A = this chain, B = another copy of it.
Amino acid sequence: MLAFVVRNHALAAVRKPSPRLRRGWALVRVRLAGICNTDAEILRGYHAFHGTPGHEFVGEVVDVRGAGSREKNNWLGRRVAGEINIACAALGFRRPCEFCRRRLKTHCERRKVLGIVAHDGAFAEFLALPIENLHAIPNTVTDEEAVFVEPLAAACEIVAQLRASAFRKAAVLGDGKLAQLIAMVVASAGVPVVMFGKHSEKLALARRNGSKTMLVRDNATNLKSSAMGERFPLVVEATGSPRGLAFAIALTEPRGTLVLKSTFHGTAPIESWPLVVNEITILGSRCGPFAKAIAMLRAKLLDPRHLITRTFPLSEATKAMKFAQRKSVLKVLLKP
C-alpha cells in the first residue's frame, strides 16, 4: 500500500505491506484523514516518531481478526472513526497497568497512540486498530464530517470534564481549527463565547459560527490591557503556542477555570502566584468522548465542514503537509 513516513522533518512516500492484524483488531481502509498541529510537531521531531503519522480519520472496516462471526458481521463494511490510544489489553498484556485497572485507558502506561507513539497512523491507504477503539459512523454523517470526530471529541472533553453550561461566558484563546471546534462545542452548551485570535479571516469564520471575537496583536500588549479589562470564569487555551498560557492566566477571573488544550512543545515563563492569589483551577485536557462527538454530528448541532480549507489526494501528502502549515489555512484533508 501507499503510506507516508517521517523523514528529514517532512513526509516521504513509501510502499509497504498493509498492517498485519492481532486478534481482536480490525483493518481499516482510510477514506479521509485530517492533518493536525500535532502532525507538524511530529515532523519537528517530537515524540521521536518515525512511522506513519495521522490520527484523525474516517475509514471502512475491511478485515477483522479473532472476533466471533456476529461481531465480525457487525463491523465488516462499516464506516468508522477510531480512538487513538491503544491500551494494555489490546496490546496483549494479560495484567493491566494501574491506569487500565482504573479504566483510564487513555492514560495506559504502555499505550501506543495511532500515528503519534509507536503505531502507524492514517496517512496511508490502510491502518490497524483494536475493535474496542472503533466507533461506527451513522449514515446521516458524511465522511467530511466524520473525519472531525477525533478533534471534536477532544473539544467535547472540556464539556465532559466540567459542567460547562454552568459558566455565564467563556473565552477561547486561539483561532485555529481546534479552537474553532472548541468555540462551537462550548457555544452549543449555551455559553456565550469570545474568541481571541491573531488572524482576522479565521475570526470572521468564528463570528459566522456565533462567537464574538477579539483581534490580538501581541500577547504582551494584551496582557497589560487585559489586566484592566474583561475577565472570564472559563478560559480555554488553544493557541498552539507556549506563550498563550500567561495571557490565558491574565484573562481568567478569580476562582475561574482555565482549560489547557495546546500540546505545543516548548517552555514559557510563567508567574504562578496569580494562580494562587486568584485561586484559579487549571485543567489539562486531551482526548475526549467519541460517542458524544458523533452524537453532536448526528444531531447537526454543529457543522465542522466550514473548517476544511482544502482536500489533497493522499499521493500529495508531502505538499498537503506544507500547505497545512500556512498561517491562513485551517483543516487540510488527505483522500487515499
A→B interface (CB under 8 Å):
99, 104, 106-107, 161, 237, 242, 245, 254-255, 260-286
Contact present for A242 and B271 (CB under 8 Å): yes
Check A282–B279 contact: CB distance below 8 A.
no
Question: Contact check: which of B254, B255, B273, B284 meets A279 at CB < 8 Å?
Answer: B284
Q: Which of these, B161, B242, B277, B280, contacts A272 with CB under 8 Å?
A: B242
Which B residues are in CB contact (< 8 Å) with A286? 276-277, 279
A283: shortest Cβ distance to chain B, in Å? Answer: 5
Tell me the complex Cα distance, A99–B265, Å. Answer: 36
Which of B255, B270, B284 contacts A277, CB < 8 Å? B284
Query: What would 9 A/B residue contacts be, using CB atoms closer than 8 Å?
Result: A99-B254, A107-B278, A260-B275, A263-B276, A265-B271, A268-B269, A268-B272, A281-B283, A282-B284
- With beta carbons under 8 angstroms apart, the residue of B99, B104, B269, B274 that contacts A269 is B269
- Summarize A's interface: helix, strand, loop or mixed: mixed
Residues of B within 8 A of A254 (CB): 99, 104, 107
B273→A270 contact, CB < 8 A: no
Cβ-defined partner of A261 (8 Å) among B104, B242, B276:
B276
Closest to A252 in B: B284
Q: Write out the residue numbers on chain B whose beta carbons fall within 8 Å of the beta carbon of A279.
A: 106-107, 161, 283-286
Question: What residue in chain B is nearest A108 (Cβ atoms)?
Answer: B254
In the bound complex, residues from chain B placing their C-beta under 8 Å from that of A242 are: 271-272
How far, in angstroms, from A272 to B243 measured CA to CA in the complex?
10
- The residue from B104, B269, B276, B284 contacting A284, defined by CB atoms under 8 A apart: B276
Q: Inside 8 A of A278's CB, which chain B residues have their CB?
A: 107, 284
Do B265 and A277 have beta carbons less than 8 Å apart?
no
Query: Min CB distance, A233 to chain B, in Å?
Result: 10
Residues of B within 8 A of A271 (CB): 242, 265-267
User: Which among A107, A242, A270 has the highest number of chain B CB atoms within 10 Å?
Assistant: A270
Q: Which of B106, B264, B283 contacts A273 (CB 8 A)?
A: B264
Query: How far is A269 from B106 in the complex, measured between Cα atoms in Å?
Result: 27
A257 → chain B closest CB, angstroms: 10
Q: How far is the CA of A260 from the CA of B271 in the complex (A)?
A: 12
Quote the shortest CB–CB distance from A140 to chain B (angstroms): 32
Find A276's partner among B106, B266, B285 (CB 8 Å cutoff).
Answer: B285
Task: Report Cα–Cα, A106/B262, bound state, in Å.
Answer: 31
**The 6 A-B residue pairs with the shortest CB-CB distance in the complex, in nearest-first order:** A275-B284, A107-B254, A282-B282, A267-B269, A270-B270, A276-B284
In angstroms, how far is the closest chain B Cβ from the Cβ of A267? Answer: 4
- Closest B residue, CB atoms, query A102: B255
Q: Do the beta carbons of B268 and A262 come within 8 Å of each other? A: no
**A237, A254, A265 pick with most chain B CB within 10 angstroms:** A254
B285 and A255 contact, CB distance less than 8 A:
no
**What's the minimum C-beta distance from A36 to chain B, rounded to whole angstroms?**
14
